[in-house]
Structure 1
Amino acid sequence: MNRKRKYRIWILWCLGLDLLVIGCMGYRYLDRRIPDEIHVQKEQEIKLEQILEHPLLTFEDAVSVSGTGSYTIGCNIMGVIPFKEIRVIPSESRSVYVSGSTVGIYMETDGVLIIDTGEILSEEGISREPAKNVVKPGDYIVAFNSQVIHSKRELIEDIRALDGQDVEVEVLRNDKIIPLTLTPVKDVQGAYKLGIWVRDNTQGIGTLTFVDEDGRYGALGHGISDIDTGKLLKIESGALYQAEILGVQKGSNGNPGELAGLIRYDSDRVIGSIKKNGENGIYGNFTGPLDQITLMRMPMAYKQELEIGPAQILCCVDGQVSAYDAEIVKIDLNHEDTNKSFVIHVTDQELIDKTGGIVQGMSGSPVIQNEKFAGAVTHVFVQDSTSGYGIFAETMLENSGKNQQ
């Protein structure tokens, strides 16, 4: 009897755990299916219930009349369990100029980025690492002995002038300025060193996504992180350049491909400034010239307008922007990572033959659906080069107007 009772208790525990897991998974599914915030064109407000319709959810039939423009709608599971409040923002229909042109990117960091620390062979023949456990990879040196540091060249000149005395540096770490003390080590050649590896700029190629009516652009759809630290780069300035595609390293399952491009860093080839390197892309002011960049005026689709089905990708893989057939296979209206809001699969055999599908350098390629700008490609799946993630167009448009001067 005791054994049977223990067995029944164990079965009940397993059943309870299964129900808890199912409940959590169901809640997560609903949370991603129903957005926390939604922009609705004024002429579509009457269709709001259709946009948010779900058999397990009910919505309140009254809202606040505070007159702030936006409003919230309460949402319950099966009319009983409080679920979330959805902010509804009545918005005007927007149009932008979508691109798909390949561009060169050059950015200078805000301070000098520390990549890592290293050992120094001292004049006594002993290996020392003076910066270990003092500075951290991802720190930005912003001052050296009370003097502001702007570039690696300035830092190198200051280090050359060391005489063995302790140095005071200020680093930017997690948005806080931290004072640190380092003791230089004299190496076998008689020069004083601090044992740090640093970088103050980065460059590469990507895809211009759009230019809005105010001349502000968005590109890439994701931020640029340092290749060594993996952290989003804090930038002081940067420029967008015209670029040329020289070749394509085709992608394959397990091996993401890459566009090989040529960037000439000449002043007459600058097409824009880089003001912001954020989680959802790089942004700044577009300066042209217009005859060197593909731009097509197109209305923007809000995220709830996207649907599972055919779409197109605009990209430049052979010297000119072309539209290639694709399919949106999954949409996540409330993903915690906004760079991965939908999944797109390349179906165009011509693009697959040229690139293998999605490759590095195509980040920012506009996604078009129902003749509207729906979003941009951001990532390629390592194990399936024909598929990748995308970001909603409205997310990029929101970011293009933030923190710019």
Structure 2
Amino acid sequence: MKIANKIIKALFFTFLISSVMIFSGVVYLENTLDSEFKIKNGDSLTITAPVPITAEYNGAKLSNVSGKYAPLNEFSVNLKAFGIIPISSAKVEVVDQLQVAVLGMPFGMKIYTKGVLVSDITSVSTQNGNKNPAKKAGIKVGDYILSVNGKQVYTNEDLGYIVESSGGKNMKFCVIRGKTKLYFNFSAVMDKNTEQYKIGVWVKDSSAGIGTLTFYSPSTNLLCGLGHGICDDQSKKLLKINSGEIVSAQIISIDKGKMGTAGQLKGKFNYDTLGDIRLNCNQGVYGTFKGNLKFTNLTEIALKQEIKEGKAQIITTIDGEVPKAYSCKIALKGANYNSSTQNMIVTVTDKELLEKTGGIVQGMSGSPILQNGKLIGAITHVLLEDSTKGYAIFAENMLETAQSVANEQLKEAS
């Protein structure tokens, strides 16, 4: 009897532990697997995960999307672990083969903000002590000042002139915070040292820098690069663009990266205009192509579920203007499908690149990554604790953003 009880208890605890492990696994997969997938007509949906994942449509295993599925363009599937344990549902979109011209060449960015960005707030030294009228009124770092008393503000000089001309009288400020338009009424104070009226803010109206172009999309006529957004150095806020240019550039020197310090590619603008910037967002910089370059060789974009951990190639330029391929390894992040930007971890393995740059450095952001002849993503960031490693974004996510930009252009034209 005692032996039987021990067996029952052992079975119970085994069942309990197994149930907890299965439940934890389901929760983990539910939080990491994407809820949307693109798939090419005739291809099977294979999902990279720690355990086998199958997709079912109307109770049947989804083996390919030819025939009865393709005409739907979009349909929902149920995802199951080992083919039996329900995880979640996902939307599948059937797409044509996606092709772009892979670049890897350096480019210069000249950006002008929408209004002026408040990058810092500081006190003004007055005869009556330190004052900060902007802060007191409610203006914050990251706000964009669009107008004052109905007058449009385009540059730092515009704001300075309006504030100085106010003579200390009350002014009405129109400000954008995120997507919300706000209004503030307050007056400037006189700086006792300069005898000028000030409101206590540092503002920014433009930015410039060098990055790497990822690809050109013939279907949208867009140049896509950087893989991450351009932010203000002080506020760390994404710059809202009023206008901007993409120009050709060349690399002239390298500050080698090392542990704890990010290296940098140093370059100069050639001032040959390649395009007009249309969007600065978390997925990179996107601009309408206007240059004279000819793109003849097109490369297929790999969908995220096609990417495998292991060997790949970085296409980048570390000297002059000519891109070159360098070896690397990629690993998919645990929650890679739920991120729109940092989807992969890249480790540089190429001896030449390690010798010259120390791995990944600033200016390489946007460098394309190829695997099995397909474009899988682009470099976005370097890991400060290890300059041989960095993050990368899926190329599929960048192309999706490019399509959104193209759709907005069509709306504007209609």
State TM-score, norm by structure 1. 0.86
Measured after TM superposition, the shift of residue 297 of structure 1 is 2.2
Partner residue, 2:109: 105
Measured against aligned partners, the alpha-carbon deviations of 1:332-363 in whole angstroms (never above 9, x if no partner) come to: 57443321111111110000001001001100
Structure 2 counterpart of 1:40: 39
Q: Percent identity?
A: 34
1:250 corresponds to which residue?
256
Q: 1:54–1:339: structure 2 CA closer, same or farther, 3 Å change rule? A: closer
Indicate the SS of the match to 2:157. helix
Name the CA distance, whole Å, in 2 between partners of 1:26 and 1:85: 13
SS in 1 for 2:135: coil
Q: Within 2, Cα distance between the matches of 1:164 and 1:153?
A: 18
Report what 2:280 is aligned to: 277
**SS of residue matched to 1:136:** coil
After superposition, what is the alpha-carbon deviation per residue over 1:65-84, rounded to whole angstroms, capped at 9, x for unaligned?
Answer: 89642101013457776421
2:218 pairs with 1:213: yes
2:392 maps to 390
Give the deviation of 1:331 after TM superposition.
Answer: 5.1
Partner of residue 193, structure 1: 198
Specify the alignment match of 2:56 in structure 1: 60
Q: Tell me, what secondary structure is at the counterpart of 2:213?
A: strand
Alignment check: 8 A CA contact 1:36 1:334 kept: no
Q: Is the 8 A contact 2:133 2:200 kept in 1?
A: yes
Report the Cα distance in structure 1 between the residues aligned to 2:383 and 2:53, rounded to whole angstroms. Answer: 33
Q: What's the RMSD between the two structures over aligned residues?
A: 2.7
Show structure 2 runs of 5+ residues with no match: 1-15, 60-67, 410-414
| Structure 1: distance between partners of 2:207 and 2:227 | 18
- Unaligned stretches of 5+ residues in structure 1: 1-15
Q: Give, in whole Å, the separation in 1 of the partners of 2:105 and 2:70.
A: 45
Counterpart in the other structure of 1:301: 302
**SS of structure 2 residue aligned to 1:399:** helix
- Corresponding residue for residue 6 of structure 1: none
CA distance in 2, matches of 1:370, 1:78: 28
Judged with a 3 Å threshold, the aligned counterparts in structure 2 of structure 1 residues 191 and 360 are, in CA distance, closer, same or farther, namely same
Are residue 235 (structure 1) and residue 241 (structure 2) matched?
Answer: yes
Q: 1:295 to 1:168 in 2, by over 3 A?
A: farther
Matched with 1:11 is none
- SS of the residue corresponding to residue 132 of structure 1 reads helix
Contact 1:207/1:363 (CA < 8 Å) preserved in 2? Answer: yes
| 1:19 CA drift (Å) | 8.4
> Of 136, 147, 155, which aligns to 1:143?
147
Instruction: For residue 271 of structure 1, report the CA deviation from its aligned partner.
Output: 1.0
Given residue 243 of structure 1, which amino acid in structure 2 is its aligned partner? A
Q: What secondary structure is seen at the aligned counterpart in 2 of 1:401?
A: helix
User: Matches of 1:290 and 1:126 in 2, distance apart?
Assistant: 59
Alignment of 1:1-400 (within 5 A): 23-24=23-24, 27-29=27-29, 31-32=31-32, 34-44=33-43, 47-48=44-45, 50-51=46-47, 55=51, 59-62=55-58, 68-76=72-80, 82-122=86-126, 124=127, 126-133=129-136, 134-188=138-192, 189-214=194-219, 215-264=221-270, 266=271, 269-290=272-293, 296-319=297-320, 320-330=322-332, 334-400=336-402
Q: Is the 8 A contact 2:227 2:378 kept in 1?
A: yes
Distance 1:316 1:386 in 2: 17
Give the direction of change, closer, same or farther, for the CA distance of 1:79–1:336 in structure 2 (3 Å limit).
closer
Aligned-partner residue type, residue 60 of structure 1: E
CA displacement at 1:274 relative to structure 2: 0.4
Letter in 2 for 1:211: Y
Using the alignment, how far apart are the partners of 2:86 and 2:99 within structure 1? 37
Compute the displacement of 1:31 (Å).
Answer: 3.7
Contact 1:103 1:243 (8 Å CA) reproduced: yes
Q: CA deviation at 1:175?
A: 0.9
Shift of 1:190: 3.0
Q: Matches of 2:153 and 2:204 in 1, distance apart?
A: 13
Letter in 1 for 2:131: R
Match for 1:194: what amino acid? I
> How far did 1:159 drift?
1.7
Residues 100 and 218 of structure 2 are in contact (CA less than 8 Å); yes or no, is this contact kept in structure 1?
yes
Amino acid at match of 2:378: A
- Cα distance in 1 for partners of 2:22, 2:387 equals 32
Contact 1:109 1:201 (C-alpha < 8 Å) held by counterparts: yes
